[in-house]
Structures are given as C-alpha cells and as structure tokens.
A and B are shown apart, each in its own frame.
Chain A
Amino acid sequence: MITTAFALVFFYAPVDADQGIIQKIFYVHVPMAIVALFGFMAGAVFAVMYLRTRDRRWDMRSYVTIHLSIVLAVGVLVTGSIWARASWGHWFVWDEPMLVVFLIVFLLYATYQPLRFSIEDSEKQARYASVFAITAGAFVPLCFGAVRMAENLTHPQAGTMTTSGPASVSQTFLVSLLGITLLFITLCKYEMASKNATSKLRSLRRRLAGDDDFTPAGGRSAAPQL
C-alpha cells in the first residue's frame, strides 16, 4: 500500500504539471497540509475517546496521529516556503493569513511533546495530553474558519485546484491526496505496532529482571506506554 501511494505521488503526478516545474510541489504541499490538519482533528477525536473510555490505546492513537501530523506540518512549512520563494520571491509572507495560521497551529502543536515530557505520572500525562489535544483540535477549525472569513486570495485555495484547470490536474491532485492519506495511515499503523512491540518487550524484560533492579533502557520518550 505504501509503495503504491509513493509511486502514485512521485511518478504519476509530475506528468500533468503544466505550469512550470515549481508548480509540481503542490501535489505534495496541499495534500500534506490537508492531511496534517485532519490528523490534528483526528487526534482530538481520539483524545475524546480516551477521556470517555480510559483505554490507553486511544491515548496512544491520539499521540501517534498528532506526532505524525507535526512531522507533516514541518513538511508543509518547508515545501510551502520553497514554493513561496520561487513564486513570490520571499520565504515567508506575513500578510498572508493562511501561512500565518498554519505557523500558529504548528507552534501550538509543537508544545504537545514538551507538555507530555513535563508530566511524570503516566495516567495524568495521558489525561492532560488529551485535554490539550481537544482544546487544540477545537482551535484548528476555528482558525481556518477565520481565514476563510478574511479571504485573501493571494494564496491559492485548495478548492480551486480541483474545480478549475484541466481534469488531469484535479485527478492527479486527488490521487496524491489519497496517496498522502494512505501514507499517513500506514505510518500511524507502523508507529502503533512499534510502540506496542516496545512496550511488550519492556514488560518481558521487567519480568526477566525481577521488579526491583530494573532500569529502563533506551532514550527518553514521551510516548504513552500501554
């Protein structure tokens, strides 16, 4: 699945690009932005599920989606500034609400990890992180609603890509959106599996070593433990 998604994004998409080479970056930039924002909101939904059920797996899902969305958001900011440099002549343009809002959302979510790090008790960590995820998740649609309200048309809107232009552009765009979404879901599954395996390994080691003289190996991590 992941190979197919990658192949579609990188080998099918450039064929239809007809506005110069720099326009191709949109097939990565826009889907990544959309997926990252929906990832943040999915993190909020999982956090609600955690607070309702108190099942650690929901907290894990919330953590993983937000974690990967942050990674995607970095990608969005980088590709976006590359495009802006080529097209507008500046790396970052302040009077463009879409960019600024995305930067704010990114800065907000960048505090998610430090917040987890700074709470020691794991149950409390999960609870507080969920509260944060819900608050921030409500923040995302509000912000982008405000941007739509302000309506500055310098930044190409995501919708124009699918409605205007030749059909091949919109097809490629949809395929790459699907591709990035699948990539995101796959990465989530991988990270979940890896976290599960790590925690199983840890509990087995703990059992081997006896409960007293066990010191956790490996680097520091703010990830929730099952």
Chain B
Amino acid sequence: MRRTVAALLSKELALELRTRESVPAMVLFTITTYVVFHFGLDRDSIDGDLASGVLWVTLLFAAILGINRLFVAEHEQGGFDGFLLAPVDRTALFVAKAIALFAYLCAVELFAVAAYAVLLLGPSLGQALPELVLVLVAANIGIAVVGTLVAALAIQTRARDLMVPLLALPLLVPVVLGASSATAPLLATGGAGPLPGDWLALLALYDLLFGLVAYAIFDFLLED
C-alpha cells in the first residue's frame, strides 16, 4: 500500500512539474481574484473578518480549479484502466491523489498568501504566521479529501465542469466557515488575537469524518 501510494504520488508530481497545468493556473487565478476584490470592494487594504473572508473565498475557488483538473489525465488517457489492471489496493489512488491535491494547495498558498500580504492585506502578517499556517494545513486536508472524492465522482458525468462546483461548494462550506472564523482574529488590525480553538477543532473533526468516509467509499467509484 505504502509503495503504491509513493509510486502514484511521484507520478502525479512528475506530471505536474512537467506539464505545469494546475498550480500556475491556480496561482494566477488567486492574484486575479485579489484584483477583482480590490475593485469590487473599492478598498485599498482590508483587515479582520473581511480579510479572512476574502482570503478563504479566493482559496476555495482556486481549489475548485485544481479539483476540476485532478482526474482529467486519467480519464482522457486511460489511466483508470491501467490502474485497475494493476493488482494493488484501489484506495491507494485516493490517498495519492489527496496528498497530491494537498501539495498543490500548499504550493498555491505559498504564493497566494504572500501576494495577499503585498496586495490587499492591511496589517502585517508577522507574528501570526505560525497560527495561520496551522489553519491553512487543517483546511487543506479537508479540501483535499473532499475535493478528491468530488473529483472522482464528477469525472464520469457528462457535465464535469458543472458538477464539481455544485457538489464541492456546499460540502466545503464548513471548511470555509471554520477556517475564516479561525483566521479572522489573526488578521485583525492592532496585533493578532489568539487563535480560536473551537473552530480549529471543527476543522479537525471535519477532516477526520470526511477522511474516514472517503477512505471507506472511494473503492466504489472505480469499478468499471
């Protein structure tokens, strides 16, 4: 199982490094979205609640782009058949894809948060950065798990681009709620407040629950 996951993951990352399909597009999308928010809100700098909301909505929509692309190569070039012919556990594909999506999201946020601090964010990130990273990681796990499940669900449907946001957005609302509530005090003007623990607990619970659900039912999406 571990070797299969490692092999699939290295294939996934090699593919992304060579084609550069998802991550640059997602980064570009987040920066464009900041510009759109700048004009939409007509504000030069934002802080607190509004700042964390803008950040998380942007990251969520960027994640939707990545989720949309996640299984396209497998679907179009017969990777599913090849994988099913191999005598390995099918859950390995889920684990590898979820880790890959997690890595993409982390890579995107590296640029996105930096660009956010430069372009739109009022208070400096400074000492709030470790807490912010914690929230980002917790939210990324949830997005990666649910996103992989939704991507696998939607890839076989006729209207894939339509189904992914329709399915993923309501499912990811708790992530946005928890993450943006947890981030809001970190981005407040006049020094970062303490990290609210209960919202982080909600994120962790979400990650755990959907991790287990997805782990249990992913097999059924791959039987053709």
Contact = CB atoms under 8 A, between A and B. Distances in A.
Interface of A: 51, 104-105, 107-108, 111, 114-115, 118-120, 124, 127-128, 130-132, 134-136, 138-139, 142-143, 146, 149
B161 to A, nearest CB: 11
Given A114-B159, A115-B167, A138-B209, 17 more contacts: A105-B170, A108-B170, A111-B166, A114-B166, A115-B153, A119-B158, A124-B156, A131-B149, A131-B217, A134-B217, A135-B146, A135-B217, A139-B171, A142-B205, A142-B209, A146-B202, A149-B198
A142 B206 contact: yes
When A and B form their complex, which 8 residue pairs have the shortest distance between CB atoms, in order from nearest?
Answer: A108-B170, A118-B157, A118-B158, A111-B166, A138-B213, A107-B170, A118-B159, A104-B173
Give the secondary structure class of A's interface.
Answer: helix
B167 A120 contact: no
A72 B75 CA distance: 37
12 contacts: A51-B217, A51-B220, A107-B169, A108-B170, A119-B156, A119-B158, A128-B221, A132-B167, A136-B171, A142-B174, A142-B205, A142-B206
A81 to B, nearest CB: 19
Contacts of B159: 114, 118
Interface of B: 146, 149, 153, 156-159, 162-163, 166-167, 169-171, 173-174, 177, 198, 202, 205-206, 209-210, 213-214, 217, 220-221, 223-224
Contacts of B220: 51, 127, 130-131
Contacts of B162: 114, 118
A114 B209 contact: no
B202 A149 contact: yes
Given A127-B220, A135-B149, A118 B163 contact: yes
A118 B166 CA distance: 13
Contact of A135 (B177, B205, B213): B213
* Best-surrounded residue of B156, B209, B214 (most CB of chain A within 10 A): B156
Nearest to B206: A142
